[in-house]
Amino acid sequence: MLNGCLAAALVGCASAPPSPPPQAGDVASSAVPEPFWDFNPNSPYTINYDDVDAILKVLVVDVGKSNREKLPPIQSSTGTRLRTKVKRETANEGNRFYFESFELNEDYRPVLRNVRESLERIPDQIPLREFSREEQLAYWLNLHNITVLDEIVQIYPERNLKKEITGKDTFFSRKILNVSGVPLSLDDIQHTILRWNYDDNPLVIYGLYQGIIGGPSIRRWAYTGENVYKDLIDNAEEFINSNRGTFAGHGEVFKVSSYYARNRAYFPNWDTDLKAHLMRYIEGVQRQQLMDSERLVADIDDWSVTDVYGSEQQIGGSFSNSQAAMLGAIGSDQRSAAQVAAEGASVNINYTADPFATRTTAASPRFSRAEDIKLPTSDDETQPTSVEVQAKPGTPTDALDEVQEQTRANQIKQDEKSGQS
C-alpha cells in the first residue's frame, strides 16, 4: 500500500517529461545498468533520511578539522610492555563511529540492517529516474555509507581493514546489494555508477566512507539533494588539509593518500590532474609545497577502523582524558566532556542507543514533495522524532549563508567538470 504522499509523488512524476537516455556508445562504455541512466532535472521530490540521521547524529563523533599535529608517543601502562600500534601522524584525524555499541548490545544490529534494506527498496517504490541528479547522488552516498557501517559491524572488533579494502574478495567487491533488481557491489557504486553518471567529478569520492581513518570522514548527518555538493566540498577540504590526505615529502616529491591511487580513474593524467584538483582546496604551507612539487606519490595510509576506543587504546591501562572527552561528545546531552574526564571514560549505552533505536523505527514518509513540506512548530519539537524534512533542491534554508554556499558549490562543480574535459 502506498501512503498518500507517495501516491501523490507518483502522480506528479508521471506528468514530468522524461529525460533523454544516454547515447548508446556512452552506455556501452560506462556499463551503468539501465535503471540508473536517467534523471529528472525538474523533479520536485526529495527523499527523507530521518532514520539515517538518527544513526549518524547519535553514533558519530566529530573530531573537528586536523591541525596536522602528531599524536604524542604512547607510553606503556604500569605492569605491561604492550602498546597499541598506531600511526601517530593520522591517529587524531577523521570522525569516529561508535561501533562498540553494537558489540555490547546485538539488539542494535537489526536496526541498522533494517535502515540499509529500507534504502535498497527506495527505487522499487519510485524509480531513481524520477529524481534529480543531486537527489540520486545523495541516495547513492547514503546507501553506500550505511552499507559500509553495517558490514563493519558484522566483523568488528577487527581493527585493521586493509584486507577488506584491497583484498580480492571483500565486502566492497561482493554483490551484497540489490537495487531495482540489479545486484550491486559497493565498488559498482563507486567506480561505475558514480564515476560515469557524474562525469568523473572527483568530488564524489569524498562522500564515500571507507570505514578507516585513512579515508574520507563519516558525517553526522545524511547527504541530501539540496546540500550534497556543499557537504562534499566540506569533506574534500577536511581530507586534503589533513595528514591522512596530503603531506609534504622531500624535494620535488609531495605525498598523497593511497585513496587517490585507488580512485586513479578520476585522475587520468595523474600528476597534472590530481595536483590541479588538490590546489583548489589545499591551504597553509602545504599549498606552496604542493605548487613547487614535481611528482605526487600515493603512500599515505591508515587502515585503522574508525571506532572510538581502538585506535588510541592503551593495553592494560585506562583511557586518557582526551579519549574520555571524545566519548563525551556522544553523550554530551547527559554529561559534559569535563565530567566524563573526571568520572572516567564510561558511556551510558542505553542513553546512546535508545534515541537511535526509537528514531529509526518511527514511521515517517520516505518521500515528500516541496509543497508538502511543513516546518516544525514549537509543539512539534516536543515529539520524539528525528525527522528533518528536506526542502526542494536549490531552496535556501538559511537566508544569510545558503545562497553563497550553493553558488560556490555550483561553481566548483562546474570547474571540476571543465577540468576533466
Give the pLDDT confidence of 134-143 residue by residue, as tens digits: 999 999 999 9
Residues 173 and 257 in one domain: no
Of 48-62, 65-79, 84-98, 342-356, the poorest mean pLDDT is in: 342-356
The strand ranges marked E within 286-419 are 295-300, 367-369
Rounded mean pLDDT of the chain? Answer: 75
Work out how many domains the chain is built from and give that number: 2
Residue 226 near residue 394 (C-beta atoms within 8 A): yes
In a domain, 169, yes or no: yes
Question: Domain range spanning residue 252?
Answer: 245-301
Between strands 367-369 and 45-47, the pairing is: antiparallel
Residues 293 and 310 in one domain: no
**How does pLDDT run across 268-318, given as a tens digit for each residue?**
999 999 999 999 999 999 999 999 999 999 999 999 999 998 644 433 222
Domain boundary among 257, 281, 301: 301
Per-residue pLDDT, 27? 45
In a domain, 231, yes or no: no
Q: In this structure, what are the phi and psi dihedrals at residue 85, rounded to the nearest 5 degrees?
A: -80, 120
Dist CA 231 CA 218 (whole Å): 11
Domain boundary among 301, 323, 339: 301
Residues 182 and 281 in one domain: no
Q: Is 376 left (phi over 0), alpha (psi -120 to 50) or beta?
A: beta
Question: Which residue has better confidence, 76 or 153?
Answer: 153
Per-residue pLDDT, 137? 98
Asked if the peptide bond before residue 127 counts as cis, ω within 30 degrees of 0, the response is no
Cell of 29: 562504455
Write the burial class of residue 43 (CB in 10 Å: 0-12 exposed, 13-18 middle, 19+ buried): buried
Per-residue pLDDT, 40? 96
Beta bridge partners of 253: 295
Residues 215 and 327 in one domain: yes
Beta bridge partners of 246: 256
- Number of Cβ within a 10 Å radius of residue 397: 12
**How does pLDDT run across 381-394, given as a tens digit for each residue?**
323 222 233 334 44
In a domain, 14, yes or no: no
Q: How many helices (H) and strands (E) does the chain have?
A: 17, 9
Cell of 18: 522524461
Contacts of 19 (CB under 8 A, 6+ apart): 38, 39, 40, 41, 129
Residues 220 and 360 in one domain: yes
Residues 66 and 171 in one domain: yes
In a domain, 178, yes or no: yes
Domain boundary among 234, 269, 301: 301
Dist CA 125 CA 240 (whole Å): 38
